[in-house]
């Protein structure tokens, strides 16, 4: 049998929305998920990669050196067609220093002011890294396609969820039951791939 400490996994994130989602996705697995809130003194990580994957890998490496154990790191964001992929890797701080979800949404809607619905296509993307104690790692990606709404609606989720319409449901992600988001989201898709590898490890 595996020792209990092998089941501890650190999620290299401070984002409470993401942590909540990952906990739900891990339900039923023999895993104790910690996050960077459990390691308040971890060095801050400069996310200076050019892709979601580079940033996720950097977070995983830095946190692995600091905490040891198995690490899951995620880098994710919103790509808007009309803005040629922006805000992309800059999604969290799109509206500048002291950015909040609300201000980021406001800036996005301003950038898309007057742009008709058929040109408001977008995608959420997620890169996940499963980083093991021996320095080996695997990477997984997921994507959710949608349309940027004209105004925010709904109160579930986090980030850009209130302005991201999922065409199949005719609702923003913030109007969807969190259980549905956790089946269809970019993070859920990437995570479903990661879960297989993880299951072998925490059995
Ligand atoms: P950590 O680095 O601590 O994980 P962060 O919020 O800075 O937290 P990212 O660098 O990965 O995380 O930035 C992701 C941003 O993209 C996030 O702050 C949201 O604005 C947006 N985002 C990612 N996933 C999202 C989702 O499921 N719904 C809405 N917005 C999302």
Contact 184, 161 (CB under 8 A): no
Q: What is the pLDDT of residues 119-140, one digit of tens each?
A: 999 999 999 999 998 999 999 9
Question: In 3-state terms, what secondary structure has residue 23?
Answer: helix
Answer whether 11 contacts ligand 1 (Cβ < 6 A): no
Q: What is the DSSP string of 120-162?
A: -EEEEEEEEEEE-TTS-EEEEEEEEEEEE-SS----SSSTTGG
Residue 122, phi then psi, degrees to nearest 5: -155, 170
Question: In 3-state terms, what secondary structure has residue 184?
Answer: helix
Active site residue 75: yes
How far apart are the CA of 78 and the centre of ligand 1, in A? 9
Report the pLDDT value the prediction gives residue 94, as an integer from 0 to 100. Answer: 98
Of ligand 1's atoms, which has the minimum distance to the CA of residue 186?
27
Answer whether 49 contacts ligand 1 (Cβ < 6 A): no
Mean pLDDT by 10 residues, the chain (203 residues): 64 94 88 94 90 96 92 97 98 96 98 98 97 94 98 97 98 97 95 85 71
Report the pLDDT value the prediction gives residue 3, as an integer from 0 to 100. Answer: 47
Report the pLDDT value the prediction gives residue 203, as an integer from 0 to 100. Answer: 67
Residues composing the chain: 203
Residue showing tokens 């199949």: 168
Report the pLDDT value the prediction gives residue 29, as an integer from 0 to 100. Answer: 86
How far apart are the CA of 4 and the centre of ligand 1, in A? 30
State how far the Cα of 70 lies from the Cα of 199, in Å rounded to an integer. 13
Contact 59, 75 (CB under 8 A): yes
Report the pLDDT value the prediction gives residue 1, as an integer from 0 to 100. Answer: 46
CA-based angle 199:139:48, to the nearest 5?
135
Answer whether 82 contacts ligand 1 (Cβ < 6 A): no
Sequence-ordered list of residues with C-beta below 8 angstroms from that of 71, at least 6 positions apart, any chain: 9, 10, 11, 12, 60, 63, 64, 129, 130, 131
Q: Which domains does the chain have, with CATH numbers?
A: 7-199 (3.90.950.10)
Sequence-ordered list of residues with C-beta below 8 angstroms from that of 100, at least 6 positions apart, any chain: none
State how far the Cα of 52 lies from the Cα of 37, in Å rounded to an integer. 22
Q: For atom 18 of ligand 1, which residue has the closest CA?
A: 92
State how far the Cα of 14 lies from the Cα of 142, in Å rounded to an integer. 20
């Amino acid at each position: 049998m595996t020792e209990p400490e092998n089941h501890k996994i650190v999620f290299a994130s401070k984002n409470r929305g993401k942590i909540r989602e990952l906990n739900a996705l891990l339900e039923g697995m023999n895993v104790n998920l910690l996050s960077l809130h459990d390691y308040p003194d971890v060095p801050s990580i400069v996310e200076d990669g050019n892709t979601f994957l580079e940033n996720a890998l950097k977070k995983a490496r830095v946190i692995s050196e600091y905490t040891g154990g198995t690490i899951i790191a995620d880098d994710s964001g919103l790509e808007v067609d009309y803005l040629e992929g922006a805000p992309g890797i800059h999604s969290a701080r799109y509206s500048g220093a002291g950015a909040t979800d609300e201000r980021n949404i406001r800036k996005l809607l301003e950038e898309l002011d007057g742009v008709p619905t058929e040109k408001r296509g977008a995608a959420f993307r997620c890169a996940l890294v499963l980083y093991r104690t021996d320095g080996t790692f695997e990477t997984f990606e997921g994507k959710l396609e949608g349309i940027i709404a004209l105004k925010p609606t709904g109160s579930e989720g986090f980030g850009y969820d209130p302005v991201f319409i999922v065409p199949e449901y005719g609702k923003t992600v913030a109007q969807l039951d969190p259980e549905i988001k956790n089946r269809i989201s970019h993070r859920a898709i990437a995570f479903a791939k990661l879960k297989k590898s993880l299951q072998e490890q925490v059995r």
